[in-house]
Amino acid sequence: MPSHLILGNSTDYHAVAVAWALREIGHTALIWDGVGVSAEQRLMLDPASGDGQIWMHGAKYERFHSVWHRRPIRHGNLDHIADHARTFVVRECAEAYECLATLATSMSPFVVGGIGTRHLTKARQLALARRLGFRVPATIITDSFEAVCAFVERTGRVAVKPFSPHYWRHVASDTLRFASTSLIESTSELDRDTVEASPSIYQQFIEKALELRVTVIGRTVHAAKITKRDGGYFVDARMFIEGPDTSVDAVKLDNGLEQTILAFMDEAGLSYGCLDIVVDRQGDAHFLEVNPSGQFLFVEQLVPELPLLASFAGMLANQGRAGTTALPTHISTRGFEASGDFHALSAPSGNGPTSFSAQNPFYTELA
């Protein structure tokens, strides 16, 4: 029976949904939550036996059919560790996780994400996309106030982006504040202390006709277009993806754009990724970024005709080869949400699912 390893966590919607889909076709799927998360998840590595052995979940593994680096948790809660020892223990847990990740990767012929994608920084993505023929907005990455002022004066409207999504929860008011894309219209809006606090991405703002969320799974391109119902545009549509003013629909890309996307994925060494592309008022597509570990099942929830869960599980089952294992038609987000695995995941618990919110079970992370 093929065994798949998901380095993520067992309160994550995506990890649990994919594990469920694999089990539905008779495969074994393990989700590893990190060093010391529970007694059941204690691990032992034996790298010198044969091609390596990993003991986890009470069983020995010498080979994995696939390994998916979802969004790994390196270790469990360390509050019980004395303050003077915590830095040391965190470092040791991180090193042990790296040993597991690299050994598991070497034990599988098909790996999604992980160490092999770390070179694909925002700067590298943009340079690669331009070289392969994408239109790319003028962009600088800097913490220089003078450089940002000159860029705004030269470029006009500028989108400011963090490198990674982040949010802060204000406990007293039970509100969230997101670090998300914002728009600068003129240099009078710039604050030196804010600009110089850390480098950010400053990018020419493209006046959009629509946005594309393109999920590439193996050699299959799934595209959804995001538009504002009144004909305008969002600065960052992800913040309004479920709103009444937003329309999300499946779309067939023209062959030229699809081939450029696949060429980009090949050059980047990705078998899976979520691309954000904007289309301007003249109909030209502009590459913004690819996320090698992005959220994708919220798209299927909004556009059920895009079979993303079945496509992703099929890619793992087929080890990236097209059409080898056909998945049953009930493999979908709707099918998953009718399962016991989903109900166990969504039941109240101390920690709560990491990708759930009261409004949307798929999208507390903006990625």
**Residues 281 and 235 occupy one common structural domain:** yes
Please state which of the ranges 73-82, 217-226, 282-291 shows the lowest mean pLDDT.
Answer: 73-82
| Local confidence band at 106 (pLDDT 50, 70, 90 cut-offs) | very high
Strands 200-204 and 158-161: antiparallel
| Local confidence band at 317 (pLDDT 50, 70, 90 cut-offs) | very high
Q: How far apart are CA 122 and CA 116, in angstroms?
A: 15
Radius of gyration of the chain (CA): 22
Structure confidence at residue 347 (pLDDT):
67
CATH number for the domain including 265?
3.30.470.20
Q: How far apart are CA 41 and CA 33, in angstroms?
A: 7
The string of DSSP codes covering 147-179 is HHHHHHHHHSSEEEE-SS-EEEEETTTTEEEEE
* Residue at which a domain ends, from 204, 231, 251: 204
CATH number for the domain including 186?
3.30.1490
Please check whether residue 193 is in contact with residue 153, taking contact to mean a CB–CB distance below 8 angstroms. Answer: no
| Local confidence band at 362 (pLDDT 50, 70, 90 cut-offs) | very low
299-332 b/e with 16+ CB inside 10 Å = b?
bbbbbeebbbbbbbbbbbbbbbeeeebebeeebb
Structure confidence at residue 231 (pLDDT):
80
Strands (E), the chain: 3-7, 28-32, 44-46, 53-56, 59-61, 66-69, 111-112, 139-142, 158-161, 166-170, 175-179, 182-184, 200-204, 208-217, 220-228, 246-250, 272-280, 285-291
User: What's the mean pLDDT in 318-322?
Assistant: 82
**Residues 87 and 37 occupy one common structural domain:** yes
Asked whether the whole model's pTM tops 0.75, one would answer: yes
Q: Is residue 103 part of a domain?
A: yes
How confident is the model over 269-282, as pLDDT tens digits? 999 999 999 999 99
Please state which of the ranges 75-79, 180-184, 308-312 shows the lowest mean pLDDT.
Answer: 75-79
Does residue 329 register a pLDDT over 60?
yes
* Residue at which a domain ends, from 151, 172, 204: 204
Whole-number percent of the chain with pLDDT over 70: 92
Give the number of domains in the chain. Answer: 3
How confident is the model over 177-224, as pLDDT tens digits? 777 788 999 999 999 999 999 999 999 999 999 999 999 999 999 999
| Local confidence band at 170 (pLDDT 50, 70, 90 cut-offs) | confident
User: Which amino acid is residue 287, in one-letter code?
Assistant: F
Structure confidence at residue 88 (pLDDT):
94
Give me the chain's average pLDDT, please.
87
Give the rounded distance of the alpha carbon of 55 from its chain centre.
28
Residue 48's domain comprises 1-113+320-367
Among residues 183, 176, 128, 130, which one has the least CA distance to residue 152? 183
**Residues 102 and 4 occupy one common structural domain:** yes
| Local confidence band at 366 (pLDDT 50, 70, 90 cut-offs) | very low
Among residues 238, 275, 297, which one has the least CA distance to residue 14? 297
Whole-number percent of the chain with pLDDT over 90: 60
**Residues 14 and 91 occupy one common structural domain:** yes
Does residue 116 register a pLDDT over 80?
no
Q: Is residue 307 part of a domain?
A: no
**Residues 172 and 195 occupy one common structural domain:** yes
